[in-house]
Amino acid sequence: MGTAWTQQRSREEWSHRKTMMGWGLLSVLLLGLTVVFSVLLFYTFYSCGPRPCERPVCLALMANYLMTGNASALPCIDFFSFVCGNLTSGWANESRNVLEILKEENEHRLQRMLEASVSWPPDSAEEKTVRFYKACMDTDAIEVSGAEPLLQVIEELGGWRISGNWTPPDFNHTLKLLMSQYGSFPFFKAYLGPQPSPPHTPVIQIEEPEFQMPFRPDQKNYTQILRAYVSYLEQLGTLLGGDQKVVLEHAYLSITITSNLLMVANPLVQEKTEDKLIQETTIAQLQEMAPSIDWLSCLQAVFSVMTLSPSQPIIVHDLDYIKGMSQVIEQKANYRDYLQSHMILGLVSTLIPALDSHFQNAQRNLSQKLQELAGWSPISLSIPRWKKCIKETETFFKPTLGAMFVQETFSRDSQDVATQLFSEIQNAMSRHLKRLHWMDEGSQREVQIKLSQLKVEMGAPEEILKPDPTKQDYQDINFGSSYLQTVLSCSRSLHERTMRGFLGPPYRHRWKVFPWDVKAYYSMPDNVAVFPAGLLQPPFFHPSYPSSVNFGAAGSVMARELMHIFNQYLVPEGCPACDIPTLNGELLCLQKHYESISLPTGNIFNSSHTLLENAADIGALVIAMQAYKKWLQKHKGETILPSLGLSPYQLFYQSYAKVMCGSPASKDAQDLHSPPIVRIHGPLSNIPTFARHFHCPRGTPMNPSNRCQLWLSA
């Protein structure tokens, strides 16, 4: 047996070994847990990070980007070519852009809708819309009808001496019929329009007509133009059965009347402004100043939904023309047959789109001859029939056609996502206001109020998105035995609906575009931002796209329209309380920044002329990126497009540039936007995060040494 010390030592050693074994097991356990945690952490990051979007719409977008972009271009040197190179390579001598391509796609969508084999309820708005389009497309029936439908119209007007069988009608009676039943205004145009100043109540307005003869006696090449126009009128008269000698006589007199009217019309280059030309008066006063027209009778016929009196207030645009017009008619008062022929020839020209190919060829030949005499480059006038018929259908059935387009292409989900996207952009701009170091607090508050009171209309006007089930449109439209009779019935119906619209609810913003258009806009007087469904389509927007695409493309478009709120503060003396030296310095910096951008040979632009739009482009990019960053902080599950190798931020900038893709060819000098390559390189090279995400070395074109701070960099 050992001693007590030995036994004690053995117990201590055993205890020590047990302790060491425990620490070893603990270390192994900790190591295992670390490995497991690392695997879980890796899996978590992988699963929460950007995942490829495999949906068909994303794969289609990926294919679009691969097809239109030029992967061999270096994004830090030429991002325009990197994004748009293959798309614009075939546009060297054309002026095109991606929005025009989208517009053409929307036209084809309309065509497919109108030609689809869908059984609409009889006499429904949709059925009449489709029926009208098909009547327009039935060229065989139009050719068979020939001039007969138009001869019936002339007979209803009392006939004319060109036909050899007529009864001299009262001048004002014919004029009244032309304006009220046929929408033709040979001497003046009368319409309902909002007053220029608030509360914008509707008022009858009188102005010059749209002259059928677009030239003046003092114009260059007048003699050659005169011959071309005489030949045109001669063709119209003979197509309607007139004797050539009589037709020529009346054609020359008609041209003389138009020439006299043009001479009393104020030329567009005059020094007077439109505001000075507008005068408020009454029907009775106008009757004294221009007595050749029976104003009360004629206007009552045109505005039949109103009860007029001599004291009715009206607005006259250019009273001098109206007085001169009355004198021209007075001089021809004893030649009623010539006045009658003049008015009917004008009507025939307006109705040619609804007539057969003989009349249309005559008008086409005149247009080509006038282009030649004006020295313009030949313009192809060959437009597919389906496009013409869509235009005609748009004119008369806009609400229903818009509703059909929205139902087909802009789902409720699309509208909700687009509205939320706009809300993110609006909130980002509101937050960003405080960072504008040149803008005083008072001006910032003004902008904040505008933003808070701003109304956005997404997809289509409210009356299309939420139609009134009790409203029965088109019930007064009758489909006649000829296409011309159908067009005339539609024209009268449209006139009545337009007047009812003006005389209905109080003034509200009326869309300047169709729902299938691709142009967004901001109305400063009404503080309304409009984004039509036609714009919110692939490849610029889809509810299933990665958010980086929607924010970069559609989001930047939304931000750009809101940036126009700042226009009034950026012009000279527009913001007297602002830090003017700083503001002017930033605007000058912006101008120089754009002037430094390289352009293709032969392309020039005026950076001072496009300054406000350039400022809007850069500001839109800043706001859209701020909104996207905020969205990423609040949401998980961002996706990317497979096979592109682009991160979400890179995809954002690619999508931003894609909206700007356009022909590098010279652009219209009057365009307030810079050329496409400048609209891409200008904003992106001014944003540090672009250079960071594309790893652009310092000093490359897309990562310059100096940047402008008008909106601060994103």
Q: What is the pLDDT of residue 310?
A: 96
Place of tokens 């679009």: 64
Q: DSSP assignment of 154-203, as one string?
A: HHHTT--GGGT------HHHHHHHHHHHS---SS-EEEEEE-SSTT--EE
CB under 8 Å to 695, separation ≥6 — which residues? 76
pTM: 0.85
Q: How many domains does the chain have?
A: 2
Distances (CA, A) of 624 to 20, 566, 709: 61, 16, 16
Q: Is the pLDDT of residue 362 over 50?
A: yes
Q: What is the pLDDT of residue 259?
A: 87
CATH code assigned at 164: 1.10.1380.10
Q: Are residues 57 and 199 in the same domain?
A: no
At 570 the pLDDT is 94
Q: Which region among 270-284, 293-307, 516-530, 631-645 has the lowest average model confidence (pLDDT)?
A: 270-284
Confidence at residue 281, expressed as pLDDT on a 0 to 100 scale: 94
| 59 & 200 share domain | no
Residue numbers of the domain that contains 159: 147-354
Burial class (CB in 10 A: 0-12, 13-18, 19+), 647: middle
Omega into 199 within 30° of 0, i.e. cis? yes
On whether residue 662 sits in a domain, the answer given is yes
Give the model's pLDDT for residue 43: 39
pLDDT value, residue 167? 78
**99-116 pLDDT tens trace:** 999 999 999 999 999 999
Is the Cβ–Cβ distance between 444 and 422 less than 8 Å? no
Residue 173 has pLDDT above 90, yes or no: yes
617 is catalytic: yes
Q: How far apart are CA 159 and CA 348, in angstroms?
A: 13
The whole-number average pLDDT for the span 533-558 is 97
Backbone angles phi, psi at 16, to 5 degrees: -65, -40
**Domain assignment of residue 563, yes or no:** yes
pLDDT digits (tens, 9 = 90+) for 297-340: 999 999 998 999 999 999 999 999 999 999 999 998 888 899 99
Residue 161 shares a structural domain with residue 303: yes
- Taking 60 as the threshold, does the pLDDT of residue 224 lie above it? yes
CA 574/CA 565 separation, integer angstroms: 12
pLDDT of residue 375: 72
351 pLDDT above the threshold of 50: yes
169 and 85 together in one domain: no
pLDDT of residue 457 exceeding 70, the answer is yes
pLDDT of residue 586: 95
Residue 224 or residue 538, greater confidence: 538
Place of tokens 């949906």: 55
User: Are residues 191 and 52 part of one domain?
Assistant: no
| Among 78, 561, 586, 638, the one annotated catalytic | 561
Taking a C-beta distance cutoff of 8 angstroms, is the pair 313, 282 a contact? Answer: yes
| Per-residue pLDDT tens digits for 393-417 | 999 999 999 999 999 999 999 999 9
Average pLDDT over residues 143-147: 96
Lowest mean pLDDT among 73-87, 368-382, 444-458, 477-491: 368-382
Q: Does 668 have pLDDT greater than 90?
A: no
Is it the case that residue 92 has pLDDT exceeding 80? no
Q: Is residue 151 part of a domain?
A: yes
pLDDT for the residue numbered 476: 92
Q: What is the pLDDT of residue 352?
A: 95
CB 612 within 8 A of CB 672: yes
Residue 315 shares a structural domain with residue 441: no
Measured in residues, the chain has a length of: 714
| 617, 638, 668, 671: the active-site residue | 617
Assigned domain for 98 exists: no
Residue 14 has pLDDT above 60, yes or no: no
What is the bridge-based pairing of β-strands 313-317 and 202-207? Answer: parallel
* Token pair recorded at residue 355: 């007539």
Q: How confident is the model at residue 440 (pLDDT cuts 50, 70, 90)?
A: very high
Percent of the chain predicted with pLDDT > 90: 70
SS in 3 state form for 488-512? HHHHHHHHHHHHHHHHCCCCCCCCC
Q: How confident is the model at residue 629 (pLDDT cuts 50, 70, 90)?
A: very high
Contact 176, 255 (CB under 8 A): no
pLDDT in tens, 673-682: 999 999 999 9
Residue 523 maps to a domain: no
Mean pLDDT of 208-213: 83
pLDDT at 379 (0 to 100): 58
pLDDT of residue 271: 41
- What pLDDT is attached to residue 269? 40
Judge whether residue 278 has pLDDT over 80. yes
In a domain, residue 464? The reply is no
Q: Is residue 86 located within the same domain as residue 155?
A: no
Give kind and range of the element (H or E) at residue 16.
Answer: helix 4-48
CA-based R_g, the chain, Å:
34
- Same domain for 207 and 346: yes
Give the domain-ending residue among 354, 378, 396: 354
Residues 336 and 435 in one domain: no
CATH number at residue 645: 3.40.390.10
pLDDT reported for residue 606: 80
Q: Final residue of a domain: which of 354, 369, 392?
A: 354
The answer as to whether 297 is a domain residue is: yes
**Residue 9: is its pLDDT beyond 50?**
no
In the structure, what pLDDT confidence band is assigned to residue 66 with cuts at 50, 70 and 90? very high
Same domain (yes/no): 542, 635: yes
Residue 440 annotated among the catalytic residues of the structure: no
- Same structural domain, 221 and 292: yes
Residue 36 burial (10 A CB sphere; 0-12, 13-18, 19+): exposed
30 Cβ contact list (under 8 Å, min separation 6): none
pLDDT band per the 50, 70, 90 thresholds, residue 215: low
Mean pLDDT of 151-159: 92
For residue 16, what pLDDT is reported? 47
Q: What is the pLDDT of residue 48?
A: 54
The pLDDT tens digits for 590-611 are 999 999 998 877 677 788 889 9
Greater model confidence, 171 or 464:
171
Which of 305, 324, 354 is the C-terminal boundary of a domain?
Answer: 354
* pLDDT at residue 7, as a whole number: 41
What lies within 8 Å, CB to CB, of 359 at 6+ separation is: 147, 236, 239, 348, 352
Give yes or no: residues 85 and 168 share one domain. Answer: no
* pLDDT for the residue numbered 371: 83
Residue 600, in any domain of the structure: yes
CA gap 338, 329 in Å, rounded:
11
pLDDT value at residue 529: 97
User: Encoding tokens for residue 295?
Assistant: 């104003």
